[in-house]
Amino acid sequence: MRTWIRYSTGNFQPSDLKRYFVFMTVVFWGLIAAAYLSYPRENHFTIMTHSFSYLGSFDPEHNPKWWPIFSVAMTFWGLSTVPLVFYLCRRFSAISRPAARIGASQLLLGCLGIILVGVIPTGHGIFIGTWDWGLAHRNAGLMVAITFNLGIFLHEILLFIDKFTRRHLGRYGYWRFVWPYTFWWSIVFLAAYFLTKWVFVYEDMKKAAAVAGRTLEGSWSEALNTRYSIPLWENILVVTLFVFMIWLVARIPWDDLSQSARNTERQ
């Protein structure tokens, strides 16, 4: 019990982190695998046509019986990422405590967004007021996207500042941080590129369809099973975010904080 209390505050030792990474990965992806396996075969879930959240949709055409598994998985992911955020805050406080707290606050909001994505499943029907379940769920997903991108970017700025000032987090070099950030931003920009390009591709398709006297199904449907598919990129980004957070935490050297920074952290 004492160990888990220490974990919950982000007070990890090096060996703790490895065990925690394994614990997070096995539990979260085990639950996602269970949600996938319980998804009715006749509803044909694929990442090219089905959003990640459809694993947790109560609609008859998705996962009406076992959708709560997805809710448990997302709630677990959000909660289990919080200690990693606390750990990052403790480490980045060596550079700037106020900036580290701002960055951590964005990541914590992202964790809350992940939890809300789980507890507010997508589907038809009124959720609250004029919001249906689908709209509330999409807004929670938007919260995840905005806050995690802001938090990740702020931590990147802190690393850049540290490289040219006190070098508290770069005893083994700053190239160790390049790879997880390159991985994250490459996927984010690829997704943005293809989803933005689709707007123009679809406009050309509509013009061609009008000339040919055909009717298109709609932007979302026409993009399915192509590289412009929104579900495809949503699924890829979920995996990317999970991997990136673990990779970033793992890249921070354990023994590189100066004694003065440690003293500052205790104050």
The 3 state secondary structure assigned to the chain is CHHHHHHHCCCCCHHHHHHHHHHHHHHHHHHHHHHHHHCCHHHCCCCCCCCHHHHHCCCCCCCCCCCHHHHHHHHHHHHHHHHHHHHHHHHHCCCCHHHHHHHHHHHHHHHHHHHHHHHCCCCCCEEECCEEHHHHHHHHHHHHHHHHHHHHHHHHHHHHHHHCCCCCCCCCCCHHHHHHHHHHHHHHHHHHHHHHHHHHHHHHHHHHHHHHCCCCCCHHHHHCCCCCCHHHHHHHHHHHHHHHHHHHHHHCCCCCCCHHHHHHHHC
Q: Is the pTM of this model over 0.85?
A: yes
Tens of each residue's pLDDT in the chain, 267 residues = 667 777 777 888 878 898 999 999 999 999 999 999 999 999 999 999 999 999 999 999 999 999 999 999 999 999 999 999 999 999 999 888 999 999 999 999 999 999 999 999 999 998 888 889 999 999 999 999 999 999 999 999 999 988 888 777 766 678 889 999 999 999 999 999 999 999 999 999 988 988 888 888 889 999 999 999 999 999 999 999 999 999 999 998 776 554 434 444 444
Residue at token pair 């960055």: 103
Q: Looking only at Cα atoms, what is the longest distance across the chain?
A: 74
Task: Kindly report the number of other CB atoms within 10 A of residue 92's CB atom.
Answer: 23
- Tokens representing residue 141 in the block: 């997903």
> From the centroid of its chain, how far is CA 114?
8
Cβ distance 121 to 73 under 8 Å? Answer: no
pLDDT at res. 1: 63
pLDDT at res. 162: 87
pLDDT at res. 267: 41
